[in-house]
Structures are given as structure tokens and as C-alpha cells.
Structure 1
Amino acid sequence: MGKAGRIARRTFLIGTASVLGGVAFGYYMYKRPMTNPLLADLEPGEAALTPYVLINAEGVTLITPRADKGQGVYHVQAALIAEELDVDLAAVKTDPGPPSAAYYNTALSAEAVPFASYDQGFVAETMRNVMDAPMKFMGMQITGGSTTVPDSWEKLRIAGAVARETLKKAASEISGINTTALKTENGAVILPDGSKMRYEELAAKAAEIEPVGRVKLREPDEWRYIGKKMQRIDIVAKSTGQQDYGIDMHAEGMLFATVKLNPGQGGALNGFDASAAEAMRGVEKVFEIPGGVGVIADNTWRAFKAAEAVECDWGDAPYPAEQAQHWQVLSESFVSDRQDSRQRDDGDVEALDLDHAVEYRGPYLSHAPLEPINATVLVQEGRVDVWTGTQVPRFAQAHVAEVTGLPEENVHIHVLMMGGSFGHRLEDDVVIRAAQVAMQAKGRPVKLTYSREEDMAHDFLRPIAMMRAKGAVGDGQVKALDMSIAAPSTVASQMGERQGLALPGPDPSIVNGAWDQPFAIPDYRVTGYRAPKLAPVSSWRSVGASINGFFHESYLDELIHAAGADPLEERLRLCIDPTARNVLEAVGEMSGWSGGAIGEGRGRGLAMTVSFGVPCAEVVEVSAGEDGIKIEKVWVAVDVGRVVDPVNFEGLVKGGVVFGLGHAMFAEMTFAGGAVEQRNFDSYPYMRLGQCPEIEVRGLETGPKIRGVGEPPVPPAAPALGNAIFAATGKRLREMPFAKQVDFV
């Protein structure tokens, strides 16, 4: 869409114009309108025309339906609307709104097509547009895949502009002054004489008139927020301890609950003895739920202690009991009948006699957000209310309806701020459990909280993966690369088994971050092998690219070294995408790149991974001393097309780098006796504050599309670190976590 957005009358669903005192505006990407969710629960004195901007006597509320799990998306969504609506971000409220198909995510479709993101050809773009339709028809209200900004970029700005121009039209009809003589500023329409008509005063009139059908978006030189340094709207509350999260939920008469589940996920509960738990102080009830027991008490701690006291007879886990068996399954999956995809097959790898054969491994990882998963549920006659942090509110709504037997429209999901996620809250198992528990105490709100140990034991992990590769070099260049990657299917586990969506075709997450890299190696093949189902797995920050970025960029670095070439110069020579080239050149200039070795016991490593359409390049500098490896500094260059908030952008990039480095250094989840062995942070270590390096960030804006940055800084971190360690020590690391092979200080 260009500078102007056309909006026909039929694009809006008009509410009852006679309801005075409020009006809501919004914009739909498609011609066919969808039901406006705000109409279902209006307070007296409010009116709703569309889903994104609500104005009533108390002021302006911006609806921000993409969930905030710490990445600042409530702030970014609000800024995009406010840019065109002409309101002060500090003076408006935000609300995630109700679950609704109207808030479907169009940007999710980009990862579902078999075209690399840098392919902007007619066929690729047509397929992306076609794939938008299922997202709408299924009402895919999902937060993930770094899609908030791409999905919202035009949608929310146009929503703000429509609201602004419609309010001007209302002011014109009241004052008799032509709209061309009216301006807007800080939540008011300004008349030629300087007098103001507040938006709240115009809401009733605006509800009665036709929304403005054509708006012109402001030019970049007119922007007040976009591209400018901003203070996030949640920063004061979070800095002063006033921000409430799901775990802080409190309601009158609340009960508190927890669960004790089979440590072998999916295993049965054969029987249990709750006599000791039931005799404990404050315990209200102990009862069986699928796969375990639920405990209700008068506070969370007592529920935890009672759960520990329940003696359970557990059935076996439905997957191999020992970690070595999981690796063996992957090792045996490199066979033709397990081939899932071959989306990259350039040249003729089969005709070559390849060498430099290697095997790489990436472990299971936990999401491990600081806030353990939790949900509060109140079951009443004909109505259920759920308070929780979730990235999938419509899935949660549907599953609570199944548990309670009520229609979905009677299930009300109140989305709360999350204390982290990294993909953990793409799962709604805690909401299902909370509904099962609350059915035992109808009429009273019940807050279910997992203990840290139970949370980690029943996380849906990032899958393990194994890569086997061969290559060829000659004349100082990389000539051939043949990668084979085996992993369980994230899509089948997450969307198929748990959400009931049997998506056809291969699982792109098995090979994403490998097949779709912008390098023109003459003979270049990437094959994905779908391993049999193992432990339950799910999306983890940057999904398949989190592993495959390590595989691809580490092995490419091996080949470059074997060719005797410079890691930066050879990548630039191979790179076929201008945006990715800009990123490589930028990180080289930032770091003063002059090859990997920079002196005795020091080294620099380079890696670039394109994920979610975003090229991100990182240079890591390390020193190697008697006590181990120290990460000295990291340089990062990333191109998202347009940086909405430079402050939040820099924070997200730095956080992604730390996240990627910390997990590469220390983290893994392993199985013994059918259960995970790491159940708290003492056994799942992470980068310490004193180990965190200085990180320098540069955001480029040369890309042809608007992209998100929540995940792309993660994949290059591990290979850049591994390549730096090689440059400093000559030791090549082919398995994470690196702490198995080197010490860190």
C-alpha cells in the first residue's frame, strides 16, 4: 500500500450510533470485514466502530492485540497508532483487547512459503499474498515470529489516521468549519482560532458519521514518534516495581493451586496417595487431573508443599528414557524415507567428491522465563474468566471452552503482561490445567502456579538437532556445501498434537536458517530429515534458525578456513542479497575487521544469519587465558527496513545477543529415566553479569520490507562465539553447550 490507504464503508462494521460518549476506529487489511470484538462488551457511554482505538469520556484507549512478554510490543503498537492519531503516548491507555479473529496476524505467512526471504520475485510475492488468506480465515491471533511490527506497520498507522480524519470530520460538522482548516494535536482538534475540541468531546458525534474513506499517511519528516528515541510506556512501572504480571493476579476470595505431573511428559498417573497432603495446614483439596494431581490450598506455598507430599505411581514416558537414546534416534534418521525437505539444491552435489565431513549437535533447551507459568480461572454459571499471559488467546479460549463445556463466546480471556516467554507462552497447557483445577472450585477464582521445578520439567523444549555436512574448496574459495539436518518436527508437536492443526507439507523449522541463506555457493544443498517423535517440543526464540544458524555459519567458517580465505571477504563474495551485504560490510567497519586472529591468545569470529527475513551479522572478540575464555566485545549490525524506536531496538538486539551467547555457553536439557535432569537454574546455568561483554549495535534501514527484531540477533551469536574461540585457540567447537569443551571466565 502506498502513502494513501483506501478504506471503503464496507471495510468497517458500524456499531450502534445512538450509543453516546465513545467511538472506536480501526482498519482491516482485507475487503471482507470481520466482527468487531469491542461491540460485545461495551460499557454504558461507549461506542465502538472498529477494533483498534476506543475513545470514551475517560480518554483514549489504544488496542494492542500482540502480546507483550517483555519485548515492548504494547509500546510499539501504541506508537504506530499514536503517530497518526495525534495523541500523547504518555496520556493514553493501552489494552490487549479480547481474543478475536479480527486481530489475525498477516505477517505469519512469510515463513510458510518455500521461498527465501530475499527472493522478492513475482512468484514468491504472489505465494506470500496467497498465504495471508488462511491466516485471516483461521483468525490466527498469534504473537511470535518477530511479526508484530511487520503486521502492524501499515495497519495501525492507517487505523490512527482514519480515526484522526473522522474526528476532524465530526469537529467540522459541529463547528461548521471545513476540515481543511482543522488540525490535530495531543488528542484534540484545533480550530483556526486556536480553540480545541478534545477527542472525548467529539466521540459521540464521530460515532454517527461515515468514517473517512481515504487517508494520507504522514511523510517520515513529519513523524513525531517513529524513528525517534522514546521512553517505553511500561518502563516507569517496571522500574518502580509497580508492573503487574500474571503471577501477581489477585481477586476477592481467591484460592491457590498447583499441579504435580508425571515427570515423563505424556506418561500416565497409575495411582496416588494424598493422605499426607490432605492433612497439611491450608489444603482444601487434592484430586486427579490428566497425567497427575491438582492441589488447591489457601496460598501458593502450601499448595507447593502439599504437592510434594503426594505419593504418585507414574507410568512410563512415551519417548526414550535416556539422552543417549535421543541422539541415537537422530543419528538413524538420515535415511531416504525420513527426508522431509530439500529446499536448496543448487548445482550438482552428487557429482562431486566432497570432503571436510563433520557432525554438529544442538541440544534440547528450555524456555525458562523468570515468571513461572500461571493462570487464574473463575468458573461461574454460564461464564468463565481467565487471567493469564498468553501469545495464543484464541487457542486458550477454545481449549477452556472444551474443558468447561461452555460456548467459546462465554469464555473471556484477559491477557496480562508476561515476565518473559521466548516461545513458552505459545503453549496454553497451563490454561487448560487451570480450567481443570477451577472446575473443582466453581464460583471462586483459582490461581494455578507451577513451581519452577514443575515448569521446567514440563516445558515444551527446543528440539535437539544433528547436522552432517561435507564440502569442497578450491582456488581460495568455497566451492560446495552439502548439509543434512535431522530433528523432530516442531510444527507436528506444537501445532498438530496440541493445537489440532494438521498442517501439510514439510516442517520448515527443521532447515530454516540453513537452506535460506543468501550465499551463491556453486554446489549447495540442504536436506531436512524429520526424526521420529521424541520429547514434546515447541518454538523457542528464533525457532529452527537458533540451531541452524550455528550449524551453517560454523561449518561455512570451517570451509572458508580450509580455503585459506578471509571470513568476511569470502562471505561478501558469496552474498547475493544487497541488504545482507550491507549488514556484513557494516559489522566489518564497526569492528575494524582484519581477519580472525588479532594477537596471541585473542580471536574474533564472524557470523551472519538471515532469519525472519532479517540479516543479522555479529563479530565476537574473545581472549583465551589460563582460566578459560573471556568474551571481550560484540559488534552487531542488523537491517529491519525501518527502526520504530531506536532505544527499544537496541535493547532487543543486545538482549538477543546475550540470550544466544548464554545458551551457547552453558545451557542444555537432558533426559534420564524419562525425565529432564535440569529443573532449576542451579542445573541450567546461564551467562553471569560479569561475563556479559560490551555490545555495540547498528540498525540499518536499507531493506525493502519492514521486519521485526525480537529473534534475529539470537542465531548468529553461537557461531560467532565458536568461530572466535577457534581463531583464538585453534579449537573447533561442533556441539553446544560449549562449556563441555572449554571453560569460560
Structure 2
Amino acid sequence: MGKVGKIARRTFLIGSAAVLGGVAFGYVMYKRPAKNPLLDGLGEGEAALTPYVLINAEGVTLITPRGDKGQGAYHVQAALIAEELDVDLDKIKVDPGPPDAAYYNTALSAEAVPFAYYDEGVMAETLRDVMDAPMKFLGMQITGGSTTVPDAWEKLRVAGAVARETLKAAAAEVSGINVTALETGEGRVILPDGSALTYEELAPVAAGLKPVNKVRLRAPEEWRYIGKPMKRIDIAAKSTGTQDYGIDVELPDMVHAAVRLNPRRGGALNGFDAQEARGMRGVEAVFEIPGGVAVLADNTWRAFRAAETVECDWGPADYPDEQAEHWQALAESFVSDRQDSRQRDEGDVEAALGDAPIEAEYRAPYLAHAPLEPINATVWVQEGRVDVWTGTQVPRFAQSHVAEICGVKADQVHVHVLMMGGSFGHRLEDDVVIRAAQIAMQAGGRPVKLTYSREEDTRQDFLRPAGMARMKGAVGNGQVRALDLHVAAPSIMASQMGERQGLPMPGPDMTIAQAAWDQAYAIPDYRVTGYRAPRLAPVSSWRSVGASINGFFHEGFLDELIHAAGADPLEERLRMCFHEPTRKALEAVGEMASWSGPRPEEGVGRGVALVTSFGVPCAEIVEVRMTELGLRIERVWVAAEVGRVVDPVNFDGLVKGGVVFGLGHAMLGEITFADGRVEQENYDLFEAMRIDQCPEIEVRGLENGDKVLGIGEPPVPPAAPALANAIFAATGQRLREMPFSKFVDFA
């Protein structure tokens, strides 16, 4: 096909993608650079050379629009800009910037296409490329899906380089020296005689220049930061207790709010009696809001205590009351009219299974996000302006919803995004912002800080969905020959993006069978089918989304088949793996653990799991030991292929945190319902791994692939199956349901 034909096809595809996203724009508008939101309201002497670099007399501020929920997002984004801008990380400031379409996430589209991560064919790569169009047209400024580094990798380095070259152009204009004779370093343009002009001095001149967009990115051998161990830019503040989070917001004349919401999610408030609450110390008002009651008081604790005394008549939920009914709904979803997807169907599965297949049913429970910082938001409604202070992963959604509630235009809502004390997907929801805005509308122009109690936070959480898998398989000649996986779960996307954000939901929900259909195994007869269960409890994304469930299902049952075949768990996975970077992750983890089999000694078991999620092959080996007090997880080895490790220190911490998160929830985590209400309302019942249970963890980041990927979520999915497989090796007991503490004791 000629060049004209290629351009025409691409133009058509991007136009089609835009229409699919609900926006009728075409290729020309897609290619048009985004307007720089920092140019609005610039002060004298300030320069916003790109949407990511702001310079004034006080110094250099780097805009880091992906939210930081503890994963080091601000740090990594700043390092990528600083690498090209030639500024020192300890001398800059960071700011998440305003909500704006210019900060749309370019990497989100990778998970939206029906092609496996290892498929690098023309159609797969083209569709990944053009699916960027609806993300841009819709202005999808979202933090999630382990996309911070993939989104930022080229974009932010280019932003830094553009700012650097524009500042050099300004220095050339001031000094009369040709730009080719100028260098940069430590936030200065260096002249041939060794003298220098600071970026702050040059900002007023640079502000009047057209940005220099033709730039060269530096080669790896020139890097000062990328790939080198760094001290995170937030480490001092977090170590000294001076880091500000949403919960720390304090404003003059601020009033504190708490809510009492229907614990049967979505149910009505039929009536309430707040006589006792209104007479309590510090309470200023009690009034009805959609779905519950709000209390205003002079501090948060008094608002909490008053809310607890309000007697409410709650209506029923629109989902089943009892947990057994939720499981029954899932069990009844394995029917043809609920089939949502069949992305993999190879060979002749029915013939391969024969009359006596190996069969199993696996279950994964609801889970809460339970971040340490309870969700909160502060909203101040003034004449013609609304300000919002909160930690959020979706600032533009929050802005839009607040504008609608307060009856103002979106650009009159100023969202100040703050550091988050954890999220795990919780802050992809903006319900706390919506409720804070509803309350602020009745606060007489005073700023309102709404904080959920731990119990209210858990009761009102949008949970990780419960899921169920029914699987069959066959083995022969010491090998896995057939695998037929059927998984049923409610739709996260229909709940999260459809119902609550009003976005179109064409096609299947890719999260239902995520990390099941797209694994790089060559099994002769291989089928994966996803079933969309009916809407049950409200659900949302939880760290690693569908992969957190399907990694357990797929790798747990695959281990059963490998055992039935009499094969080695690591060697058989290596034999089946056809994707070289994925295979290298398996080889690396085996080398790290000095793998010699699932039972290296009496009373010790080792389990292997390989799960690729968000394009990242992540292999883990877990070692457990039987003790008099129960099973002890002693060691974990992890190898993950990410293409490029930006900061080895941050990478190591993210992987270890993901392993602990995955293991702890596999051991102990469960949310159940009774009378339509969550039964585990606080940490005493929704437990986490204790520090004395934490194993030694060894991490290796691999850089064999040609795509730069994120690591925030991929270590989570392999943890549960690797632990289950290790427990089987040590005890002979096969665990097919989480949490495992229902069936074994942990020391």
C-alpha cells in the first residue's frame, strides 16, 4: 500500500475510533497539539514552556498530572522531565496541575483493544495506536492501569527537552551567542566562557518565544537519573510527617462534615430522627442528602459521634441480601445468554477433554480497598467559583460532577489534587467529592471538609467484584494438553465507567477475562470464556482489576494440570511459553530461587506462578514452611519484564509492596454481605498481613522488551496462585477459594 493509502486508512480508523468514543472528530483535530492550560493566568515574568514546565522567579515547577497514591508517581514523572530539562530533582517543585484534556493518558488505550500483549501484528499495533483518539477527544485524565510510566516515558522527556531548547533559544537572544554553542546544566544555560544564565532569569524572554519543538532526546549513556537509584522527592516530607494529604486540609471558617449513608448500597432513606445528634456538643446542623444524612460540626470527631446517633429507617438494597445469594448468582451466570467474551478458542477443546476431564471450581471473594487514609474531600462554594481539595485519580470527572451539582461551568470548578494516603483503585471513584459538594451547597458559603469514618468508608466502598471459575483440562504424555476456563463476574466497566461516569460501553468488558485469555502459553486445545454476571454489589477497579482474580484461577488450575501430568511446575511452564520476554521472566525467577522442584526439603513447599497483566510478564516463586504454629511464608522471588526500569529503588519498593498486598489478601481478605450490609467494617475484621508474617522478598527487573511498562499492579496477581501452589507442595492440600485462612492456619 502506498503512503497515501496508509494515511487514508489511518485517518479513517482514527475517525472511527473517535465516533466509537462518542465524539465526532477526525484525524486533523487528533493531530492538533493540545492547548497549554498553564498559559491561562500567567504572571509577569512567568513562562509555561510546555504544559509540564512552569518557570518563574521562585524557581522551576514540574507538572506531574498522574496522581500520587504512594507509588511514587510524582517522583517518577519529575525525574523524566528533569532528565531532559537539566534540573536537579532536589531543587524543583512539583504540582499535579489543573484538570485539563491536555493531560489525557496516552497509555490507557493499550488495555482497550482485543489483542493479547504479545501480539505485535499490524492490525494489533494499528488499533492500539488509533484507540488513542477517543482518549484524547474525551480528555481522559486518569491515573490507573499501571500507565504512569508508559504514558510519561516519551511525552515528559520531550516536554523537558522542548523547555530546555527554548531556554537555550532565549539565552541566545539575550547573549547574542549562537544556540549551538550553548549547553545546559543544573537549571542554567552555560555560555562558552563558563558563565551562566539561570532558567529563572531567562523565563521572561522564553515566555515570548515560540517553543522549540524539534528536539533530540538524550541517549541512555547521557542519562543522569533514568536507571539510576534515586531518593524519592517526597521521602523527606513523609519521613518527617510534613507531607500534606487531603485529610490535612485546613481553611479559615471551615466546617467539618460526616455522613450516615444507607449501609444497603443504593437503598433509600425512608426517614430519620436526629434529635439526639442536634443537641450534641459542636454540632451545627443535620440534614438529609441523597441516600442518607449529613452532620456539620466544629471538628471531625464530633461530626462522627453525632452521625452515629442518628436513627435511620433504611430501604432495601437492589442486590441480594445474603452472601450465599451472591455466589448463587455467579453460579447461574455460566449460560450462553450471559457470555460476554471468548477471546481465545484454539484447537478442539471438546474432543480433547473427552469423557473424563480434570475439573475444578475456584472462587474469589469481594474485597475492599481499605487505604490507610479514609476518603475525604473539602469543597468551598463561592459566588461564581467552587474549589475542591482532594486526592483523586479522576480530576476531570470530579470537576464535571461538582459543576453539575453547584450549577456552574466546569472551568469555574478548581480541583486541587493532593497526595493520597493509599488508594488501590478506591480514588477512581469520586463519590466523596460529589457528597461534599452536595453538603457544601447547604453550608452558607463556608468551606466543608467531609471525611468518611473507617466504617463508613468500608460500607460505601466500590468493591473488587467476587468471581467464580469453572475449569476443565486434560493431560497426556507428561504434558498439559487442554485447558477450558470459564469465568463469571459482574462487569467492572459497566459499573464504574457506564453507570457512574456515563461513558459508552461498546463490546465486552475486557476485565472479566483479563489475564486469563491472553497468557503466552501454547496449549493445543485452549479456550477462555467470560460471562457477565448480573449487577450485584457496587464494584470498581481494585489493584490489578480482573487480573487479581483470574491470575489465581488460571495459574492455580494450570498447576493442578501440571501435577496431574507428572511434570515440573517451572519446567512445564517454560515448555509451554512461546513469548521470549515472558519466558525470560520465568527463567530469571527460577535462577533466583535456585529452583530444584516444588519440595526442596521436608516440610517446605514452593509454588510457581506466571501472570502477565498490563503487558508485564511477572513470575513469582513463593516458599512456605510448615511449623507448629501453622504455615509460614518464608521467601518470595519475583522477576518482572518492564522494558526499562526508571528508578531501581522505587521499582523494588513497588514490587515488594505488590507482593505483600497480594499475599495478605489471599491469606486473609474477604468482604461478605448479611442483610444487605457489609459485615467487615474495619481492620479488626478485614485483616492484612502482619509485619511478623512478611517474608523476605527478592526482586529483579528485566529490560528485554521494547516497550516501557508500569509495575504498580503486575506483582499482585501471581502472589495468590504462587502461595496456593506452595501450600499444595508442602501439604498436599489444594486451595481453590480465597481467603486461604478458611482452610489453613498461618503462623
TM-score, normalising length: structure 2: 0.95
| Aligned equivalent of 1:59 | 59
Distance across 2 between alignment mates of 1:47 and 1:714: 42
**CA apart distance, 1:704:** 1.6
Which of 662, 668, 681 is the aligned partner of 2:664? 662
- Work out whether residues 603 and 725 of structure 1, in 8 Å CA contact, stay in contact via their aligned partners in 2: yes
- Give per-residue Cα distances to partners, 1:167-206, cap 9 Å, x unaligned: 1111111111111111100000011111010001111111
- Alignment match, 2:15: none
Which range moves more in the overlay, 572-581 or 205-214? 205-214
Q: Distance in 2 between matches of 1:386 and 1:239?
A: 27
Render the CA deviation track for 1:552-600: whole Å, top value 9, x for unaligned.
0010000000000011111111001111000000000000001101111
The Cα offsets for residues 120-156 of structure 1, whole Å up to 9 and x where unpaired, read as 1111000101111000000000000000000110000
After TM superposition, list the pairs within 5 Å mapping 1:326-345 onto structure 2: 326-345=326-345
| Alpha carbons 2:254, 2:449 under 8 Å: kept | yes
Q: Does residue 1:567 correspond to 2:577, yes or no?
A: no
Residue 545 of structure 1 is aligned with which of 522, 544, 547? 547
- What code does the residue aligned with 1:456 have? T
- Inter-partner Cα distance in structure 1 for 2:245 and 2:297: 21
**8 Å CA contact 1:560, 1:570 repeated in 2:** yes
Which of residues 645, 652, 655 is equivalent to 1:653?
Answer: 655
Question: Aligned match of 1:671 in 666, 670, 673?
Answer: 673
Structure 1 residue 29: deviation in Å?
12
How far apart, in 1, do the equivalents of 2:548 and 2:536 lie?
A: 19
| Secondary structure of the corresponding residue to residue 589 of structure 2 | helix
Answer whether contact 2:49 2:206 (CA < 8 A) is retained: no
Q: Secondary structure at the match of 1:215?
A: coil
Deviation, structure 1 residue 212 = 1.5
Contact 1:29–1:155 (8 Å) recurs in 2: no
8 Å CA contact 1:511, 1:528 repeated in 2: yes
Which of 485, 505, 516 lines up with 1:483 in the alignment? 485
What is aligned with 1:375?
Answer: 377
CA distance in structure 2 between the aligned counterparts of 1:257 and 1:212, rounded to whole angstroms:
49
Which residue of structure 1 aligns with residue 226 of structure 2?
226
Measured against aligned partners, the alpha-carbon deviations of 1:314-359 in whole angstroms (never above 9, x if no partner) come to: 0001100000000000000000000000001011112231511100
Aligned to 1:208: 208
Q: Does residue 1:278 correspond to 2:271, yes or no?
A: no
Name the counterpart of 1:145. Answer: 145
Q: Which amino acid aligns with 1:580?
A: T
**Post-superposition offset of 1:537:** 0.1
Out of 404, 410, 413, which is 1:411 matched to? 413
Structure 1 range deviating more: 570-579 or 41-50: 41-50
- Deviates further, 209-218 or 681-690: 209-218
Find the aligned partners of 2:534 and 2:572 in 1 and give their Cα distance: 37
Alignment map for 1:480-519 (pairs within 5 Å)? 480-519=482-521
Distance in 2, Cα, partners of 1:536 & 1:496: 12
**Does structure 1 residue 308 correspond to structure 2 residue 308?**
yes
The 1-side partners of 2:627 and 2:85 are apart by 56
Partner of 1:358: 360
- Write the deviation string for residues 507-550 of structure 1: whole angstroms up to 9, x where unpaired: 01100010010001000000000000000000000000000000
Pairing 1:462–2:445 present: no
Q: 2:37 is matched with which residue?
A: 37
Asked if the contact 2:616/2:714 (under 8 Å) is kept, the reply is yes
Q: Is the 8 A contact 1:382 1:406 kept in 2?
A: yes
CA gap of 1:41–1:431, structure 2 versus 1, over 3 A, is farther
- Partners of 2:46 and 2:207 within 8 A in 1: no
Give the TM-score of the pair, scaled to structure 1: 0.96
Structure 1 position 111, deviation (Å): 0.5
Structure 1 distance, partners of 2:424, 2:323, is: 24
Give 1:284-299 correspondences, 5 Å limit: 284-299=284-299
In 1, are the aligned partners of 2:454 and 2:681 still within 8 Å (CA)?
yes
Measure the CA separation in 2 of the matches of 1:356 and 1:157. Answer: 52
Q: Residues 451, 463 of structure 1: CA spacing in aligned structure 2 closer, same or farther, 3 A cutoff?
A: same
What 5-or-longer segments of structure 1 have no aligned partner? 1-27
Output the amino acid matched with 1:142: I
Residue deviations 1:26-51 (CA, integer Å, cap 9, x gap): xx996312222112343344243431
Where 1:118 maps in the other structure, the secondary structure is: coil
CA contact (8 A) 2:463 2:539 kept: yes
SS in 1 for 2:33: coil
Match of 1:688 in 2: 690
- The alpha carbon displacement at 1:642 in A equals 0.1
Query: Take 1:424 and 1:200, find their aligned partners in 2: how far apart are those partners?
Result: 39
Q: Secondary structure at the match of 2:456?
A: helix
Q: Give yes or no for contact 2:607–2:726 (8 Å, CA) kept in 1.
A: yes
Q: SS of the counterpart of 1:658?
A: helix
Which of 689, 696, 709 is the matching residue for 2:711?
A: 709
Partners of 1:380 and 1:442 within 8 A in 2: no
Question: Corresponding residue for 1:78?
Answer: 78
Amino acid of the structure 2 residue aligned with 1:244: D
Q: Distance in 1 between matches of 2:364 and 2:186?
A: 51
Alignment of 1:586-605 (within 5 A): 586-605=588-607
**Following the alignment from structure 1 to structure 2, what is the Cα–Cα distance between the partners of residues 414 and 44?**
23
- Structure 2: distance between partners of 1:407 and 1:474: 65
Checking the alignment, whether the CA contact within 8 Å between 1:378 and 1:442 is kept in structure 2 is no
Name the CA distance, whole Å, in 2 between partners of 1:533 and 1:281: 42
The residue matched to 2:215 in structure 1 has which SS?
A: strand
| Contact 2:45-2:203 within 8 A present in 1 as well | no
Over the residues paired in the alignment, what is the CA RMSD in angstroms? Answer: 1.1
Corresponding residue for residue 93 of structure 2: 93
SS, match of residue 734 in structure 1:
coil
Deviation by residue 1:212-258 (Cα, 9 ceiling, x = unmatched): 23111111010000000000000000011110100000011111001
- SS of 1:251's partner is coil
Q: Give the match for residue 129 of structure 1.
A: 129
Structure 2: distance between partners of 1:43 and 1:658: 47
Q: Which amino acid aligns with 1:553?
A: E
Which residue matches 1:267?
Answer: 267
Q: What whole-Å deviation, never above 9, does each CA across 1:76-114 have from its counterpart, x for those lacking one?
A: 000000000000000000000000000000100000000
Deviation at 1:627, TM superposition (A): 2.0
Query: Contact between 1:367 and 1:540, CA under 8 Å: does it hold in 2?
Result: yes
CA contact (8 A) 2:49 2:162 kept: no
| Residue 4 of structure 2: aligned partner | none
Letter in 1 for 2:238: K
For the 8 Å contact 2:260–2:307, the answer to whether it is kept is yes
2:259 is the alignment partner of 1:249: no
Asked whether the equivalents of residues 479 and 567 of structure 2 are also in contact (C-alpha less than 8 Å), the reply is yes
Question: Residues 249-281 of structure 1: CA distance to partner in whole angstroms, max 9, x if unpaired?
Answer: 001111100100000010000000111100111
Aligned partner letter, 2:609: A
Residues 272, 458 of structure 1: alpha-carbon distance in 2 compared, 3 angstrom cutoff? same
Q: Secondary structure of 1:441's match?
A: coil
Q: Deviations over 1:576-627 (max 9, x none)?
A: 1111000000000000001101111111000010000000000000001232
Q: In the alignment, what sits opposite 1:164?
A: 164
**In the alignment, is the contact (CA less than 8 A) between 2:471 and 2:483 conserved in 1?**
yes
- The CA distance in 1 between the partners of 2:743 and 2:121, in whole Å, is 44
Gaps of 5+ in 2: 1-27
What amino acid maps onto 1:174 in structure 2?
Answer: V
